[in-house]
Structure 1
Amino acid sequence: MLPRIAVLDWAWAETLLALGVPPDAVAESPLYGARVVSPALAEGTIDLGLRSWPNMELLRAFRPDLIVTQTGYGVPAAMLEPVAPVLSLPLYTQERQPLKLAETGLEAIAARLQRLDEATAYLEQAEQQFASFREKLQSYDGRPLLILKFASDRLADIYGPGSLFHDVLDRLGLPSAWPHSGSHWGFSTAGLDAIAANPEARIVIIEPGPPEALAASGLWRAIPAVRAARVISIPPVWVFGALPSALRFAGILTKALQTS
């Protein structure tokens, strides 16, 4: 019989699903489907409130056998331990290697739940998928990629070292146009001038975006990559994810670059 598991972080929720262990309760579970998309939570997954600060009364009433959370984000493990045993795992840290930590975290969760065979199979499958994507991208023209997500009409989050997306580019053998680490999660919030300052790049926009008013403006059309029609849009991918999100991003990006 599987333990009753409460998860306060979507990256580790998707990791549990990858191991074939659907969590019973997840913070902000109604939003998970729109933001993370895949793998999907089971219907009826209990919503524990905010990821940054869950409903502690509901968490206690749920009586979990295990709470899984991300180290350094949200409620400290010491506050959760009176409720149930806690597995707190790092992902976005000063090490700035989230993809490596996602793989390590998957193994740690698998060890705790006696799912090491499933973890080994998933990691082997992941490496096969990355290898397949690299093979498909051998014909790519080599332009550096500027990966961004619009934060407002004039600002975008641009992903660099320390982000999951940058690690995926490295794994795929693709160059990044953005060398700046930026925030704790590896992105910099910048204006159109920063985008325009990379005239040789191919822009990859994580939907939605650009805003309609901006897309119709002369400011946007004056950006060299936009003027040269080197802009592609891809469906939403969870920017703070773990290995499942990394694989999803890699597959979507590979397909987009093949057809651009």
Structure 2
Amino acid sequence: MPSSAKHALTRRQFVAASLPVLLMGNAAFASQQGPRLAVLDWAWAETVLALGAEPYAVAEAPLYNERVVSPALPATTIDLGLRSWPNMELLKSLHPGLIITQAGYGVPESRLETIAPTMALPLFTEDRTPLALAESGMSAIAERLDRKAEGDAYIARFDEALSKMRDTLAGDDGRPVLIVKFAGERLVDIYGRGSLFDDVLQRLGLENAWQEVGNRWGFSTAGLDAIARHRDARLVIIEPGPPPSLAQSRLWNTIPSVGAGRVFTIPPTWVFGGLPSALRFGRILTEALTPA
């Protein structure tokens, strides 16, 4: 064997080694310059971090790092309470220079405006284009924080990263993908059109096996029979996987994709996220589907 062959990378190793470089944004250089930010939505909190800024306060901050994972919130971030209904007295007492929230969710913009200037940005709407709205939201926040160059650079890196992932998956077996998350012992949320995950699948050139119209966030809650109907699909499960009692049952193992060994389990990814979550999902999915 030639010496150079000993150092050749497998496709999976190449993906794992190269994508973290592409995912590096300006968060490592975060500073507290600009207005004191109170962010009530995690998609926009991760967006602020990706731009190299630090939110002063975030709703449900203790859970953010567990659910969103990356980019991580600083330990000093103040917790504002529930995302759907934050502690308004605390919010007011912090004297934020800017409040960022998701339009149509939680406290109305008009009420937040009585505390501080507010950006209420849409993400999940009837148009069902969350990825496009995540990008326009990043651009809007970047402009407001005087970080337009950072926003443009992040979007360019995002596009480049997804393009490389698509190239990596070009030799893929072509089977459609079914993205699910367990909602109960025998109930799953299945992600289709209008979900952030479906938008990423399209960018990666992957077919989504689930074509039914779901809720406003793009997913449907269904029983295991819904998975079984898609006999040729590759099943991608967002952790945690099936309960042990189900995983060991005959019912689970007779599902065609399970019986054929076409099951891929991936780490938690924020399903209601912005560009950073979309990028994380794309990276994790590409690594899972790329042969070792």
Question: TM-score higher than 0.5 here?
Answer: yes
Show the counterpart of 1:222. Answer: 254
Equivalence map 1:94-173=2 (5 Å): 94-173=126-205
Deviation for aligned residue 1:181 = 2.3
- Between the aligned partners of 1:76 and 1:197, the Cα distance in structure 2 is 41
Q: CA deviation at 1:135?
A: 1.0
- Structure 2 CA distance, aligned partners of 1:22 and 1:163? 27
Deviation at residue 59 of structure 1 after TM alignment: 0.3
> Where does residue 268 of structure 2 map in the other structure?
236
Please give the alpha-carbon distance, in whole angstroms, between the structure 2 residues aligned to 1:83 and 1:15.
Answer: 22
In 1, Cα distance between the equivalents of 2:211 and 2:106? 28
1:17 aligns with 2:49: yes
* Residue matched to 1:183: 215
Cα deviations by residue, 1:32-87 (Å, 9 ceiling, x for unpaired) = 00000000011210000000000001001111000000001111101111100000
Structure 2: how far apart are the matches of 1:245 and 1:193? Answer: 29
Percent of pairs with identical residues: 63
Measure the CA separation in 2 of the matches of 1:251 and 1:30.
25
Task: Letter of the 1:4 partner, please give it.
Answer: R
Q: CA offsets, 1:117-173, max 9 Å, x none?
A: 001100111111011101111111000000000000010000000000000000011
In 1: Cα distance, 2:148 partner to 2:105 partner = 26
Measure the CA separation in 1 of the matches of 2:291 and 2:43.
29
Q: Please, which of 223, 228, 245 is the counterpart of residue 213 of structure 1?
A: 245
* CA displacement at 1:209 relative to structure 2: 1.1
- Structure 1 stretches of 5 or more lacking a match? none
Q: Deviations over 1:80-120 (max 9, x none)?
A: 11100000000000010000000000000011111110011
Measured after TM superposition, the shift of residue 11 of structure 1 is 0.1
Deviation of the 1:259 alpha carbon: 3.2
Q: Which stretches of structure 1, 4 residues or more, deviate above 3 A after TM superposition? A: none
Cα deviation, 1:194-235, whole Å, max 9, x if unaligned, reads 010100000000000111111011110010000100000000
Question: Partners of 1:212 and 1:102 in 2: how far apart?
Answer: 36
Letter in 1 for 2:243: P
Alignment partners' CA distance in 1, 2:159 and 2:209: 25
Is 1:42 the counterpart of 2:63? The answer is no
| TM-score normalised according to structure 1 size | 0.99
Cα-Cα RMSD: 0.7
- Structure 2 distance, partners of 1:19, 1:115, is 7
1:195 maps to which of 227, 231, 237: 227
Aligned length: 260
- Indicate the SS of the match to 1:148: strand
Q: Which runs of 5+ in 2 are unaligned?
A: 1-32
SS of the residue corresponding to residue 259 of structure 1 reads coil
SS in 1 for 2:190: strand
Q: Secondary structure at the match of 1:229?
A: coil
- For 1:224-253, what per-residue CA distance to the aligned partner results, in whole angstroms no more than 9, with x for missing partners? 000100000000000000100000000000
Task: Give the corresponding residue for 1:28.
Answer: 60
Q: How far is 1:184 from its partner?
A: 0.7
Match of 2:291 in 1: 259
| CA distance in 1 between partners of 2:77 and 2:34 (Å) | 15
Question: Are positions 1:247 and 2:279 aligned together?
Answer: yes
- SS class of match (2:132): helix
Q: Hey, what does 2:27 align to over in structure 1?
A: none
